[in-house]
């Protein structure tokens, strides 16, 4: 049996991360994802290439797909879309504002060829309002959504730093778009109706900061409103960005510095661990394990937000830190696992593909690339009992499936050759 989306064909016009990752997610569910690439392969193939047109990032973001190379600005592109689109169920795009319309691959243009087409798009700021035409990217969405400021990170020149070393908004935006596609496919199954599906980097970033962004006057009067008064006072006196975000504070400032005691990171003898103890029971287990018998935060009357109580919290923090430095990460994780306290070593990402726990969990996916040989990637995000997930197909060579896909759309070998000669398509 194939995956849950077996029989669904997706035509992908994407770039960077969010769009391609949506395609990966759909391919892992069994969809036949066909990536439309420029005749020259485009910058995503050339960036950090070890072999011509091949690099690790491209392989990770385009595994599970087939590739067709088409010049979308060629005079024959429109007639080619008229032949190709009737064979696909879904189109995915994350081009810049207006680019799809200029190329004639927008929803209104393509649904002429298939009335029940699902056309899914991710943009920077959405399709409505004053920001709709603005260019967007992951780092811009981090800034606009509040993610960046909430981290309270400033560089040595006083500017903001990235939230993460990866596309912290891009990747979930791809998942959100894939979720929208699946919902639209279900709707079409029930009604026969296709539709336009839209998501944005901004809305995804705001989803991740939803608790902080939400407004509720009763609750806001306790924390948000006094904090914003302090922030605005800093701004009025000319305070810079770093002063503003420092005044606002991070998660430990907003929820109480005591949170860090049992929900944070510590150095150990050979590295670092993270403890994620949120329950009273888990916190008491840690105190018993480490011999901490004078933690004032145990008292329900202890005001964790009172600045006068901060030294007492800091003393407990130092005691926990000193105790944890006495043993190795593996030793502490074994103890915490025994107690049922959530915890982990802090790993380098480069270590995880070979980690026994990761391998046993079935998270990694093994594929065989025709040029680079055996490769391992993070596999499907969802495991299902009745339908397999995780596409075994590697990332495609540039234009590797042009003739194959166009042939499936009804073009003859002679027609495909003519398109190749005229520069409308590229084949290996």
Q: In the structure encoding, which two tokens stand for residue 307, read together?
A: 């600045």
Q: What gap in Å lies between CA 60 and CA 46, rounded to an integer?
A: 15
pLDDT of 299: 83
pLDDT of 215: 96
Q: In the structure encoding, which two tokens stand for residue 353, read together?
A: 């593909």
Q: Tokens 């973001």 — which residue?
A: 61
Among candidates 122, 117, 79, which has minimal Cα distance to 99?
122
Burial class (CB in 10 A: 0-12, 13-18, 19+), 149: buried
For residues 63-81, one letter each, b for 16 or more C-beta atoms within 10 angstroms of the residue's C-beta and e for the rest, the string is: bbbbbbbbbbebebbeebb
Burial class (CB in 10 A: 0-12, 13-18, 19+), 36: buried
Q: In the structure encoding, which two tokens stand for residue 123, read together?
A: 């943009």
Looking at the chain, the domain(s) classified CATH 3.30.1540.10 span 258-349
The strand pairing partners of 425, in sequence order, are 70
For residues 121-133, one letter each, b for 16 or more C-beta atoms within 10 angstroms of the residue's C-beta and e for the rest, the string is: bbbbbbeeeeeee
pLDDT of 258: 84
pLDDT of 335: 98
pLDDT of 315: 94
pLDDT mean for each 10 residues of the chain (428 residues): 95 97 98 98 90 95 98 98 98 94 98 98 96 95 95 90 85 98 99 98 97 96 93 96 92 76 96 96 96 89 83 93 98 98 97 97 97 97 95 97 98 97 94
pLDDT of 169: 97
pLDDT of 38: 97
Which CATH fold topology does 9-148+166-207+358-426 show?
A: Rossmann fold (3.40.50)
Which CATH fold topology does 258-349 show?
A: formyl-coa transferase, domain 3 (3.30.1540)
Dihedral angle at the C-alpha atoms of 250, 254, 256, 262, nearest 10 degrees? -50
Looking at the chain, the domain(s) classified CATH 3.40.50.10540 span 9-148+166-207+358-426
Q: Which DSSP string corresponds to 170-229?
A: HHHHHHHHHHHHHHHHHHHHHH---EEEEEEHHHHHHHHTHHHH---HHHHTTTHHHHHH
Among candidates 184, 177, 203, 181, which has minimal Cα distance to 16?
177
Q: In the structure encoding, which two tokens stand for residue 195, read together?
A: 């539709």
Among candidates 63, 90, 306, which has minimal Cα distance to 189?
90
- Backbone angles phi and psi of 272, in degrees to 5: -150, 155
Contacts of 12 (CB under 8 A, 6+ apart): 19, 20, 22, 23, 33, 34, 35, 36, 65, 91, 92, 93
Among candidates 409, 395, 422, which has minimal Cα distance to 37?
395
pLDDT of 166: 87
Q: What gap in Å lies between CA 66 and CA 408, rounded to an integer?
A: 13
pLDDT of 1: 75
| 233-239 CB contacts, 8 Å cutoff, 24+ apart | none
Q: CA distances (Å), 344 to each of 165, 181, 330, 353, in order?
A: 20, 35, 9, 16
pLDDT of 303: 83
Q: Tokens 């810049």 — which residue?
A: 96
């Amino acid at each position: 049996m194939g995956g849950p989306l077996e029989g669904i064909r997706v035509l992908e016009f994407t770039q960077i991360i969010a769009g391609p990752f949506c395609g990966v997610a759909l391919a892992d569910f069994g969809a036949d994802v066909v990536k439309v690439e420029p005749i020259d392969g485009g910058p995503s193939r050339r960036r950090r290439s070890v072999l011509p047109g091949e690099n690790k990032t491209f392989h990770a973001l385009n595994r599970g797909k087939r590739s067709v190379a088409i010049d979308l600005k060629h005079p024959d592109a429109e007639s080619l879309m008229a032949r190709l689109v009737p064979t696909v169920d879904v189109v995915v795009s994350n081009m810049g504002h207006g680019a799809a319309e200029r190329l004639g691959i927008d929803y209104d243009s393509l649904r002429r060829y298939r009335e029940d087409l699902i056309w899914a798009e991710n943009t920077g700021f959405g399709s409505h309002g004053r920001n709709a035409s603005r260019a967007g990217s992951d780092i811009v969405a981090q800034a606009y959504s509040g993610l960046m400021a909430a981290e309270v990170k400033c560089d040595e020149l006083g500017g903001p730093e990235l939230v993460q070393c990866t596309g912290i908004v891009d990747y979930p935006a791809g998942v959100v778009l894939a979720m929208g596609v699946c919902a639209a496919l279900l709707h079409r199954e029930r009604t026969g109706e296709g539709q336009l599906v839209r998501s944005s980097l901004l809305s995804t970033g705001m989803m991740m900061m939803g608790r902080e962004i939400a407004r509720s006057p009763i609750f806001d009067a306790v924390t948000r409103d006094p904090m914003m008064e302090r922030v605005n006072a800093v701004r009025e006196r000319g305070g810079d960005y770093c002063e503003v975000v420092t005044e606002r504070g991070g998660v430990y400032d907003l929820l109480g510095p005591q949170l860090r005691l049992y929900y944070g990171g510590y150095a150990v003898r050979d590295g670092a661990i993270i403890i994620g103890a949120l329950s009273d029971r888990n916190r008491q287990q840690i105190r018993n394990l480490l011999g901490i018998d004078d933690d004032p935060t145990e008292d329900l009357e202890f005001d964790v937000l009172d600045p006068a109580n901060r030294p007492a919290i800091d003393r407990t923090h130092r005691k926990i830190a000193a105790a944890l430095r006495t043993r190795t990460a593996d030793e502490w994780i074994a103890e915490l696992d025994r107690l049922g306290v959530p915890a982990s070593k802090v790993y380098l990402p480069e270590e995880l593909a070979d980690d026994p726990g990761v391998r046993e969990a079935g998270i990694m996916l093994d594929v065989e690339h025709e040029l680079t040989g055996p490769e391992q990637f993070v596999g499907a995000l969802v495991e299902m009992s009745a339908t397999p997930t995780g596409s075994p197909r590697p990332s495609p060579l540039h234009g590797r499936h042009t003739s194959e896909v166009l042939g499936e759309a009804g073009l003859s070998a002679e027609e495909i050759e003519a398109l190749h000669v005229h520069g409308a398509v590229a084949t290996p």
